[in-house]
Structure 1
Amino acid sequence: MKGFTLIELLVVVLIIGILAAVALPQYTKAVEKSRLSTVYPLVKALAEAEEAYFMANGSYTCDLSLLDISLNFGESFSKAYYTGTMSGQRTDLWEVGCVDNGNWKSIRAIRLGGKYPVWLQYSLTPWGSAKPGWYCVESASSSSSPCRELLGVDEASKMVPNWFGRWYLMSAR
């Protein structure tokens, strides 16, 4: 007799299912990590433009048209958040811009949707216990830890969690 038995076919299907169950989460994580790595240079360029503006004018601005950078990232927006008003540009995956609440300013990229809700933030001025510098912020309600899983930020760098997220200091200014 030629061919495969039903048991042999079921074993092959079972093996393929196990491999897919292991590979899919790793693939999802790799995709999210690549999305994060594509927005990081934009946030870094905005932060550097803000620092250049500060050196020339003695203050930071959230008027991105005053910076020596051209954003061709997506549509313009302005939105009120609980941490201040954010203005900048957005796509279907990210909102990138400057947040100003009157007491502090920061450059922020917020991931819209996805399995890993995360912010990349460059704080321009101190805010509470947060020093100026690079932060990864994840949702306090998230069961996953995108900052640790995607960026490799270690637990020791975590600041005190507050009601809207866990803050990880990646590098101080």
Structure 2
Amino acid sequence: MPSVLLVSTVVPVDLVCCSCFSVSAIAWQGSFKLELFIYVSRIAASTTIRRATEGRIATAATLINEPLTSHPEGEQLGEASQAYWAVTHARQPDQTPLTIPTNPTFTQLQRIDTYQREADNESLQRAVSLEFVNHQEAAQAHRRRNRLHEHRCFVQYHRRPPHDWSAMRSLWCS
């Protein structure tokens, strides 16, 4: 039920058209005031954008994650897109239906997420191939180190240096 606003005003007779009144009212010389009462219903306050607090963002994120699990792999949203969607939904009034944003910012974030997914896949492929190459190089370096130790051209000591540095000098090749 809308609230009612009562507006009251007093209008002096001099400002009112005299032809509206009867002849007897015009002849009367006393102070005459017309008091008007107007009832106006208030317009409901418009729903403004709310602040996106941490609690509202967390609630919106859980609402968003539920329908995203049913999407196919190609339509998955990345972290940036999901975070933006959660913030924009948290700013909406309560009981706002969950709809995917269609603004340019969301579209750009989807593109950024796609690029991030591609970069992650490339780095994963590089890491797998680099581990194999590094393993071979490590094995070759170990063989080279053993050959150098056999020829006594390499310092033969443990990786942790001794406390007595004079003992270390005796280990050098001559």
Shorter-normalised TM-score: what interval? under 0.3
Higher strand share: 1
Higher relative CO (Cα under 8 Å, sequence separation at least 6) belongs to 2
TM-score by length of 1: 0.22
* Structure number, greater radius of gyration: 2
